[in-house]
């Protein structure tokens, strides 16, 4: 069910384009075998169901994902999306404009939390 | 303080471009006079501070606003942003793709709430 | 357990002071008898546990409750708290200042939702 | 991709068991054709991916869904899940106990919003 | 008020059953004496008001608490509830099924945050 | 637009009064120059637009900000506001009463997260 081959392949392609690297499933040393189903699900339901579709450009999808993870307060996910955004050509200045747009709609506290995450991504990029 | 003239003018211009109509401040029959400060603030802090800036295109800002209001569960504001999005050339199919993207990241319940709001906008557009 | 007499009495007193009227438990025509436990719980856990305590003034507690219900997007509860706030002497102008304070911290969409609720309270007060 | 046949069939079966009726896709009079993809996605990603799996009983999944929709403030979805819960044998008293459990963890305002939704379901059941 | 003896005793019993250990109130080196009231309140309002009630089984209450803390993004509390869930017989596979159920309803980012917390609990269990 | 001089000056004054120290814009080593606009925006939209207004006392605004950041789960911002609250004369006992008030309205998990943040502030104050 959650192992449809065509979806998985489309997901892996979209993941590669978006992040600039191959998908490597994360696993923990104490995971039960069933956890593989969840990992596949997370990949298929985002990259397979949506990123692989041509109807909306990757740039727009990047801003949507950055916005959602900032609104939900999911900092690790926000950092992944900001890093991937830079990989696909979104500039630092555009990320700043995005933060300025957030400020009025989401308020200053959540925007500052997002800014902190963004700065950690920039520090990581500079360290490479 | 919250009545800076240049900001207000820039805000009104951006509002016109985005929504296709003139800004008319909403007021209630029992509002105290001080409420005008709040109305101005809402306009200046969104259209003045951010929509008026050139660094991010209007299309991207539209998707950000739709995403934020969907994530926050602010249905009336979501409807305004979907209507304005159509005014600036975003198509129905693109709104569907946006909803498909939301589904994996925000979950099905919130996506269905957003879909309901979108359909009300479409019904309103068809009734014109 | 959830029927401690002293708590209930303190809760009823605090409710009366805050809202200006007697507490009348709401019940629905299809409620099972066990629902009375929940109704008591709601009263005891807010008015009994906290409103009845002397350590923080009623005015401050009012602003905290208005803020929480606005942040949570619980519009009916926000309306009750704004109405009670006016009952204990908080003015319309102060409610406007509170909304202005929300705007920067919570963002414009949620502030506008709160403003709509506030206006409904004001309309109800004017109709009396 | 989002039209995998086996998933869809499993989803329709699980939907029937949970709700006691056949799945009928909702459509709006102004929907573009692409919206069918989203409707299928909502069904496959919940009933196909999860409800169809045997590893967790339907009763537990019901309480999880009721809890999530209450926490997210998605009232229409909460009502559907409470109605389906009663269809699968969860009693009114158990729904009350669930609300009592919510109260301490989610707070009184959100619990009262959930209670209102529950009462509307009960009124609908009594009207049949 | 918040020191009702019967509630406290019932709370302590329920806590012991759920977590497998005695309740030890946490205190900080700089707490004012009044903080004891809050600590008692947290215990009484969850374990006293609800966990001590017989109307819903401990297993169901565990899943509700895990779901709420995941939805609220309260990671430390989620970890406590996952640990206690394992103490009362909920298996790792069931926790995985719970995460799979979350994924469709709460979205992938929040589910991944919950997965990270779950893995930390599993690592802690393995280290014992 | 976002550099209105009068607003900035009022913001800096209000910031000084509230926190007891001069505002020092935070900057990161990899910030693009445009980030200065965002920093100014955060200051102007909170301290300039609202804290500088006389219509609501600083004490009330402190409780509103503490409540908002606790409700949003923005822990760093909550810590800043608790520290500033103590600077303006709000006592530890009043912060405890505020947490007790939160407990019934926001639920125990979020209240415990807030308590943890508060304790870190107290530890920092004691270390001075």
Q: Which helix (H) or strand (E) holds B60?
A: helix B58-72
All residues at 6 or more sequence positions from F13 whose CB lies less than 8 Å from its CB, including other chains = F52
Do residues D109 and D93 share a domain? yes
What is the rounded average pLDDT of the residues F69-77? 98
pLDDT band, residue C4 (cuts 50/70/90): confident
Residues C46 and C62 in one domain: no
Query: Distance between CA E77 and CA C72 in Å, rounded?
Result: 20
Percent of chain F at pLDDT > 90 equals 88
Residue B23 pLDDT > 60: yes
For residues E65, E66, E67, E73, the Cα torsion angle rounded to the nearest 10 degrees is: 110
For residue A107, which residues of chain C lie inside 8 Å, CB to CB?
104-107, 110
Burial (0-12, 13-18, 19+ Cβ within 10 Å), F23: middle
Q: At what angle do helices C58-72 and C108-127 cross, to 10 degrees?
A: 120
Q: How far, in Å, CA of A21 to CA of B20, rounded?
A: 42
Both tokens of B95, joined, read 């709104």
Contact, A45 vs D45, CB < 8 A?
Answer: yes
Within its chain, how far is the Cα of E97 from the centroid? 18
Residue for token pair 């415990």 = F112
Rounded to an integer, the average pLDDT of A1-15 is: 83
From chain B, the residues in CB contact with A98 under 8 A are 56, 64
- Report the gap between the CA of F25 and the closest CA in chain A (Å): 12
Confidence of residue D6 (pLDDT cuts 50, 70, 90): confident
pLDDT at F3: 59
- The answer to whether residues F30 and F62 belong to one domain is no
**pLDDT score of E6:** 86
Q: Residue E31: give the domain boundaries.
A: 1-55
What's the pLDDT tens digit per position in A42-92?
A: 999 999 999 999 999 999 999 999 999 999 999 999 999 999 999 999 999
Q: Mapping DSSP to helix (H, G, I), strand (E, B) and coil, where does residue A33 land?
A: coil
Specify the pLDDT at position E1.
47
CB nearest C38 (choices: D96, D116, D126): D96
Class of residue F22 by CB neighbours under 10 A (exposed 0-12, middle 13-18, buried 19+): exposed
Specify the residue for token string 């402190």: F62
Sort out which chain D residues have CB atoms less than 8 A from A6's CB and list them. 1
From A100, A116, A123, residue closest to F41, measured CB to CB: A100
Q: How far is B15 from chain D (nearest CA, A)?
A: 27
Q: How many residues are there in chain E?
A: 128
Pair C63, C95: CB distance under 8 Å? no
Q: Report helix angle C108-127 to C75-87, nearest 10.
A: 50
Backbone angles phi, psi at F42, to 5 degrees: -60, -40
User: In this predicted structure, what is the pLDDT of residue E35?
Assistant: 96
Residue B1 confidence (pLDDT) above 70:
no
Is the separation of the CB atoms in E10 and C1 below 8 Å? yes
d(CA D106, nearest CA chain C) in Å: 10
> Are residues A127 and A64 part of one domain?
yes
pLDDT tens, position by position, E4-44:
788 899 999 999 999 999 999 889 999 999 999 998 888 99
Same domain, E66 and E124: yes
Average pLDDT for chain E: 95
Last residue of a domain, one of F55, F76, F98: F55
Contact D46 E105 (CB under 8 A): yes
* Stated length of chain D: 128
Tens of pLDDT, residue by residue over D78-115, are 999 999 999 999 999 999 999 999 999 999 999 999 99
Residues of D in contact with E105 (CB under 8 A): 46, 64-65, 68-69
**Interchain contact C120–F (C-beta under 8 A):** no
D80: CATH? 1.20.1290.10
pLDDT in tens, D57-85: 999 999 999 999 999 999 999 999 999 99
Q: What confidence score (pLDDT) does residue C7 get? A: 87
Closest CA to C14 of F63, A65, E1, F50: E1
Instruction: Name every chain E residue with its beta carbon within 8 A of the beta carbon of C53.
Output: 1
CA distance F19 to F42: 15
DSSP string, F25-66: ----TT--TTHHHHHHHHHIIIIIIIIT-TTS-HHHHHHHHH
Residue F4 pLDDT? 76
Residue reference for tokens 């709700």: D19
Q: Which residue has the tokens 């955004």?
A: A85
Residue of D nearest to C80 (CA): D109
| Min distance A26 CA to chain C CA atoms (Å) | 34
Q: A-chain residues within 8 Å CB-CB of E111?
A: 38, 42
Q: Does A14 touch chain D (CB under 8 A)?
A: no
Nearest C-alpha of chain B: how many angstroms from A60? Answer: 6
> Which residues in chain C touch residue E34, judged by CB atoms under 8 angstroms apart?
55
Mean pLDDT of B102-116: 97
| Whether residue B70 is found in the same domain as residue B94 | yes
Tell me A48's DSSP state: I
> A47 and A74, same structural domain?
no
B54-101 tens-digit pLDDT: 999 999 999 999 999 999 999 999 999 999 999 999 999 999 999 999
pLDDT given at position A1? 46
The reported pLDDT for the residue numbered F1 is: 47
Q: Which one-letter DSSP state was computed for residue D1? A: -
Identify which has the larger pLDDT, F102 or D39.
Answer: F102
CA dist D95 and D86 (Å) reads 9
pLDDT digits (tens, 9 = 90+) for F105-117: 999 999 999 999 9
Confidence of residue A4 (pLDDT cuts 50, 70, 90): confident
Residue C79: which H helix or E strand, with range?
Answer: helix C75-87
Structural domains of chain E, count: 2
Please count the residue pairs, one from chain A and one from chain F, whose beta carbons lie less than 8 angstroms apart. Answer: 57
Residues of chain E above pLDDT 90, percent: 88
Chain A interface includes C105 (CB < 8 A): yes
Distance CA(B116)–CA(B110), nearest Å, equals 10
Whether A73 and A43 share a structural domain: no
Distance, in angstroms, between D101 CA and closest chain A CA? 24
F1 and F18 part of one domain = yes
The reported pLDDT for the residue numbered C128 is 85
E103 in contact with A at a CB cutoff of 8 Å? Answer: yes
- Among chain C residues, the shortest Cα distance to E49 is held by C2
A124 and A104 in a common domain? yes
Query: pTM for the complete prediction?
Result: 0.97
Residues of D in contact with F110 (CB under 8 A): 107
**Is C49 touching E (CB cutoff 8 A)?**
yes
Residues 55-84 of chain F with CB under 8 A from chain E are: 73
Q: Say whether D77 and B123 touch across the interface (CB within 8 A).
A: no
Tell me the pLDDT tens digit for each residue of C85-127: 999 999 999 999 999 999 999 999 999 999 999 999 999 999 9
B-chain residues near F52 (CB < 8 A): 1
Report, as an integer, the average pLDDT of A23-47: 93
Cβ pair A106:C105 closer than 8 A: no
User: What residue of C is the nearest CA neighbor of B45?
Assistant: C108
Q: Are B50 and A100 in contact (CB < 8 Å)?
A: yes
In this complex, the residue of D35, D46, D74 whose CB is nearest that of residue B110 is D74
The neighbours of chain C, by the rule of 3 or more Cβ pairs under 8 Å, are A, B, D, E, F
pLDDT at D1 over 80: no
- Of all residues in chain B, what percent carry a pLDDT higher than 70? 98
- Based on the domain organization, do C67 and C14 belong to the same domain? no
- Residues in F touching A97 (Cβ below 8 Å): 34
Q: D75-107: b or e for each residue (b if 16 or more CB lie within 10 Å)? A: bebbbbbbbbbbeeebebebbbbbbbbbbbbbb
Structural contact between residues E61 and E50, judged by C-beta atoms closer than 8 angstroms = yes
pLDDT at E2 over 60: no
Last-in-domain residue among C15, C30, C55: C55
* Domain boundary, last residue among A55, A77, A99: A55
Residues D63 and D46 in one domain: no
């Amino acid at each position: 069910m959650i192992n449809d081959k065509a979806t998985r392949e489309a997901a892996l392609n979209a993941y590669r384009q978006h992040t600039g690297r191959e998908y490597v499933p994360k696993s923990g040393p104490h995971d039960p075998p069933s956890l593989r189903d969840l990992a596949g699900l997370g990949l298929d339901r985002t990259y397979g169901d949506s990123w692989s579709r041509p109807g909306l450009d990757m740039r727009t999808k990047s801003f949507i994902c950055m916005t959602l993870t900032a609104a939900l307060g999911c900092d690790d996910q926000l950092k992944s999306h900001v890093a991937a955004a830079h990989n696909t050509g979104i500039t630092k200045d555009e990320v700043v404009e995005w933060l300025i747009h957030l400020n009025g709609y989401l308020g200053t506290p959540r925007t500052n939390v997002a800014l902190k995450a963004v700065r950690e991504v920039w520090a990581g990029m500079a360290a490479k």
